[in-house]
Structure 1
Amino acid sequence: MAAVSTTDPRLRALAHPVRLRMLSLMWSAPLSAAALARELGISHALASQHLRRLDAAGLVELADVRPNRGGRERRYRSVRGPLLTDQREGQALLAEALARNLLDRVAERAPDTAGLTIDAELWVAPEQWAAARSRLHAIMTELHEAAQPPHAPGTVRVGATVLAFEMTDPPPPVED
């Protein structure tokens, strides 16, 4: 098995829960390292370090540079397109980062609000799987296209994580 870092450099950048959150935040509007630090409750230095990693992997792009208190503020946005890799090698790293974010988001769930929790390990016809996968993709695309900048008036903060994949057949049961 090849090393993950040589297989998919984007995966190494994505395999950290803070960087996944940064990409989500920069999807709807460009943000600076300082703004990301405030939003995520981390230091400016740490936000800058994570942002450099995302930039080196080609997952963000410089949106603009503007004056700010005698200096220059560089604001980045997420590169549009399929951000998360579907490559099999290294998927455990990405799943671990997604799981960490999911745990953090559940802790911040608004009380007494509607949500949706579904888990499944099913056997379905290939054409049903393809159709369901297409619908899931369309739903997540719709949410991303509707995204507004953080704290925009009239918006609610939503957490959505989808990891759906075809599984291998388990080995046949051993007869006693």
Structure 2
Amino acid sequence: MTNTISEVSLEKAPEKFKEGENVTVNVKFSITGALRQAFNEKNWEKAYNKHDNVFKLRYGIKLYSGGLRKREIGKALDTYKKVALFWTRNPKLTQMGEKKVWVQISKNFEPFIPKNQVEAQEVLLDFDEKMHFNASELGVGKHKIGAEIYVSWFKHDYAEPFDQKAHSKEIEIEITK
């Protein structure tokens, strides 16, 4: 089974913006496939025992204005999520009594310890990022906006290397004076 970037969507609140306003677009996407299935307690313990304790998932998002000549708008996002496997005695974390390895997922240097395996998969592999730009970058009129997304990671005990790009469907916004 392979990995894919799926469910890519753009969401905006109002349909119209004034020329000087800041525009916020939510970019949502998920990683589906082999990694989602392999990211489980059994594989965490195997990887931990082989000293494969850190998993780094790098991703980026660029917004662009559509049309014949696409051009980047706003500031591109280039960041990562980092998983650290650790040994614990906390019975609330590990679901199986004899297993003692759990995960901590960090995004933008903010650590988070999920309560269960499903929550860990969602935190690591589901994305919802807010992208901002000034409406004056587009000018007055109707504009189509799209997003280019890339995701990559290196080979690990439970995951093959991955490097892929995906595009969202374009949405239309209107800028008024």
TM-score normalised by the shorter chain: which range applies? under 0.3
Q: Quick check: which one's helix share is greater?
A: 1
Using the size of structure 2 for normalisation, the TM-score is 0.23
Using the size of structure 1 for normalisation, the TM-score is 0.23
Q: Higher RCO, 1 or 2 (CA under 8 Å, sep at least 6)?
A: 2
Q: Quick check: which one's strand share is greater?
A: 2
